[in-house]
Structure 1
């Protein structure tokens, strides 16, 4: 079904738009379902226009409004990071996407182009390349010829199948991510130019047999920032339209895994695009060791805390191994346990957080102002055959009870409402533990502030985030330490049990020449009719 045939002079441009976003962690024992989307964010049809979160779709719609382009929204959906999506839920998700697309096409008629915001690192139990399959569903509905542009998180795992089915591809340029809306706007500009015939984009993908720690791939400084300087210099030469760099989310044990470079070039100048993609991939490879990160034990950080001056701002420790935004469970008590063993509750003001629904229930039952004993941590591990964390019993004071709703102010996505379930502040001496029923993004100070806890007034603050927390916490202090701690999204990639990666693979192995790897290098992105009638 061909849903459109271009824009005649004087006609209004009409594009079909949507988003479907979730990030997976294949090492996490949790499983995700459609219910996670429904509970977090699932909006269809015209209601999509009312979203206030300044994300990619919001940025696209603002750009379309500026240029007088009519948009027809299909779906805006995302769920918090988790383990893999259950196979049955993924099957249902594809059916729902197809149904919504077909209904929009039948209701609205022809279109001139399509835009979808995806993440690029969603994995299902029975499918490593979910975005490749979702794009196949979209292509099956709109036909092979309609211009299709997508945007992706820079932690996306790019596959040949994904690159073959799109006319353009735009990735985030910032980490910590702060360019959600700008990414959608840039995708709109590329799509509109392609529809008008001003450009004829071609997509070139280069894969690398390499993963790097997320904790040291920020775009503000360091090796990734240096790569972006090179990418922008290449764009300014004019041989390519846009470049995207993808230091893939490393907690994925899947087929066709690896970091990548994607260049959108000009038709007729494919060789220039290939040369630029390979140039940047070579630089990426040369810098691979520079992405290494220094890790500290909790005990080492406590030693620094005892020497730290209180007027220098708080020490922030990143327990990224238990990061809910990386698909971990959030119920680790490793930091709290070490703080208590070292008697830090007697000397230093600390903010700590963990997920423990039974403890929240017991604290609420006790009531504000009451002393009680709680079993804290490991509540989501109790049913696992090999739990990473076991509960510890602690006595303390229930200081505050909350409903768990707060708004992310800046760093992650402006105006996004986060929900951590019912929650309590539980004081153990000078340590205030924010205990939540549900896992949520903990890298914004707004989480603590929503419960009357001010991070800037503490001496030590725990976050469970690999890098995104720097967007806001970096404004409060330069004293940031990455922890060497247990979990499913740990910074020590050598400790993860990868099984699907085609070896040799960096940093697990010594790789002498990435171009000679059988599954990596410059990939074919020539468009094919690989629609398989998925339902």
Structure 2
């Protein structure tokens, strides 16, 4: 048995100015480009990715494994056409003679030459292998399309956000694929997609309507469905329907799968207001953080989710730091701030030098009015290659690359400035440049969710802060042109006809 296994992950923010060339598809910001062949196998084997689970499952079956490519990039703007073609062509070229396909996809990829990155790829794979079963693992934030449904036999998405079940999702999809090939099950897919643009901060699976929807999905699986996935979608993609979806894989009984998808989607629609996040003004958020810090013996976290690189942010906006300084907060540690020009200047100055440079607000995001870079004077405390090993729970053991990194200490604030946008996955973001984040009074992180498993345990409290960045929760900042209207919450009177 010959099995094709590949990975293509990108969450596309079509409003983001951050480019996505082929070189962006490296490991954790490594800017090395995709890995191919044996390298793709080795980069996933033993990791916590869906592709790793596919490899393990295929090996247990004694299959001949073909791994043409593993390509994963941080969220950013539309994928370059040449990059998209290179990744898809590698996968399609490897289909010859394969008996089955397992693809580790995100589900929200938009390329310069494709508004439906995953759907168009799956259509090509299906055309090349019309009789081979295709299993797909998706991110919880995938934007499901009809092409994806039509060209896959098994679809399973993550059930956690933050995503800590990537491997388990791949294992689930692989288990159903092989059970189907052995004749033990007969997968059928049903799909519902209410016209609801969810906010990422309302897709946490630990609370609220999203938790209730995922709980319903788990209950349906316990009641006989092969897989039930709730995908909150990624609304900062200006495509026809970047909306929440329910995908059900039933066992032979399509009507039963349809009924389950309908029931859970109706539950979601009835609770649609709970999937909308209403941001407080930035000044109020900073004032709340200051109050939390009065009697605290641990740092207070301020999460700048309006400029979050894991949704396509530039990591360049200075709104939150400027507001914190205006309110005379001190003991601040912040970063990573992406400013290659500032890093070059700090590198040239050297450790121990006192410098005045401008930082941030250099990339025009298109979200709100342009702001001027901020002049800051301080001492260069550290200069590094910006690499560290992630301790977990996400991407445990993988080496992270921030690009070259520098620390500027103004006395009031220590800024970690990097060449690449980078999610604060780990304490290593700070410890690798000589900062103990536990000793800060205020930690200003450009993050929405992934930092929480690591930084919440060392903090006294958390305040969500919405800067006017390209990942803001204020949809009014974005000119949606392609989204099918009416859609909630852009249109308060939107209605849903279950016949999607």
The two structures have a TM-score, normalised by structure 2, of 0.93
Helix, strand or coil at the partner of 2:52: helix
Provide, for residues 125-151 of structure 1, a one-character-per-residue CA deviation record: whole Å limited to 9, x for no partner: 23211111111222232x211111011
**Partner in structure 2 of residue 359 of structure 1:** 342
Unaligned runs of 5+ in 1: 1-12, 516-520, 524-535
**2:290 touches 2:329 (CA, 8 Å); kept in 1?**
no
Q: CA deviation at 1:386?
A: 8.2
**Partner in structure 1 of residue 151 of structure 2:** 165
Matches of 1:270 and 1:385, distance apart in 2? 44
**Partner in structure 2 of residue 203 of structure 1:** 189
Alpha carbons of structure 1 residues 398 and 297: separation in structure 2 relative to 1, 3 Å: farther
Does residue 130 (structure 1) correspond to residue 117 (structure 2)? The answer is yes
Q: Residues 13-32 of structure 1 correspond to what in structure 2 (within 5 A)? A: 13-32=1-20
**Partner in structure 2 of residue 378 of structure 1:** 361
**Partner in structure 1 of residue 42 of structure 2:** 50
**Partner in structure 2 of residue 528 of structure 1:** none
**Partner in structure 2 of residue 410 of structure 1:** 392
**1:294 touches 1:482 (CA, 8 Å); kept in 2?**
no
Matches of 2:494 and 2:232, distance apart in 1? 20
**1:54 touches 1:415 (CA, 8 Å); kept in 2?**
no
Q: CA deviation at 1:443?
A: 4.1
Instruction: Find the structure with the greater CA-based Rg.
Output: 1
Helix, strand or coil at the partner of 1:475: helix
Helix, strand or coil at the partner of 2:458: coil
**Partner in structure 1 of residue 106 of structure 2:** 119
Q: CA deviation at 1:369?
A: 1.2
Alpha carbons of structure 1 residues 132 and 414: separation in structure 2 relative to 1, 3 Å: same
Q: Residues 398-477 of structure 1 correspond to what in structure 2 (within 5 A)? A: 398-477=380-459
Matches of 1:205 and 1:375, distance apart in 2? 50
Provide, for residues 1-37 of structure 1, a one-character-per-residue CA deviation record: whole Å limited to 9, x for no partner: xxxxxxxxxxxx4321111111110111233222222
Matches of 1:385 and 1:194, distance apart in 2? 47
Matches of 1:297 and 1:460, distance apart in 2? 19
- Aligned mate of 1:35, from 23, 26, 33: 23
**Partner in structure 2 of residue 342 of structure 1:** 327
**1:443 touches 1:464 (CA, 8 Å); kept in 2?**
no
Alignment RMSD: 2.1
Alpha carbons of structure 1 residues 116 and 326: separation in structure 2 relative to 1, 3 Å: same
Alpha carbons of structure 1 residues 342 and 260: separation in structure 2 relative to 1, 3 Å: same
**Partner in structure 2 of residue 155 of structure 1:** 141
Helix, strand or coil at the partner of 1:514: coil
Helix, strand or coil at the partner of 1:499: coil
Matches of 1:98 and 1:513, distance apart in 2? 40
Matches of 2:127 and 2:372, distance apart in 1? 48
**2:78 touches 2:112 (CA, 8 Å); kept in 1?**
yes
Provide, for residues 146-189 of structure 1, a one-character-per-residue CA deviation record: whole Å limited to 9, x for no partner: 11101110100000011100100010110001111111111111
Q: CA deviation at 1:454?
A: 2.3
The two structures have a TM-score, normalised by structure 1, of 0.87
Matches of 2:304 and 2:431, distance apart in 1? 19
**2:198 touches 2:232 (CA, 8 Å); kept in 1?**
yes
Helix, strand or coil at the partner of 2:68: strand
Q: CA deviation at 1:272?
A: 0.6
Q: Residues 85-100 of structure 1 correspond to what in structure 2 (within 5 A)? A: 85-99=79-93
Bigger CA drift: 143-152 or 386-395? 386-395
Matches of 2:336 and 2:295, distance apart in 1? 21
**2:342 touches 2:359 (CA, 8 Å); kept in 1?**
yes
Does residue 275 (structure 1) correspond to residue 259 (structure 2)? The answer is yes
Q: CA deviation at 1:385?
A: 12
Matches of 1:309 and 1:495, distance apart in 2? 34
**Partner in structure 1 of residue 209 of structure 2:** 223
- Aligned mate of 2:227, from 242, 247, 250: 242
Provide, for residues 412-461 of structure 1, a one-character-per-residue CA deviation record: whole Å limited to 9, x for no partner: 32223221111111111131100011112224332122212222221211
**1:494 touches 1:507 (CA, 8 Å); kept in 2?**
no
Q: CA deviation at 1:220?
A: 1.5
Helix, strand or coil at the partner of 1:344: coil
Bigger CA drift: 399-408 or 156-165? 399-408
**Partner in structure 2 of residue 8 of structure 1:** none
Alpha carbons of structure 1 residues 405 and 352: separation in structure 2 relative to 1, 3 Å: closer
Does residue 284 (structure 1) correspond to residue 268 (structure 2)? The answer is yes
Matches of 1:512 and 1:365, distance apart in 2? 56
Helix, strand or coil at the partner of 2:71: strand
- Aligned mate of 1:266, from 223, 227, 251: 251
Alpha carbons of structure 1 residues 386 and 318: separation in structure 2 relative to 1, 3 Å: closer
**1:157 touches 1:258 (CA, 8 Å); kept in 2?**
yes
Helix, strand or coil at the partner of 1:19: strand
Helix, strand or coil at the partner of 1:482: strand
Alpha carbons of structure 1 residues 159 and 381: separation in structure 2 relative to 1, 3 Å: same
**Partner in structure 1 of residue 241 of structure 2:** 256
Q: CA deviation at 1:289?
A: 1.1
Alpha carbons of structure 1 residues 88 and 50: separation in structure 2 relative to 1, 3 Å: closer
**2:302 touches 2:462 (CA, 8 Å); kept in 1?**
yes
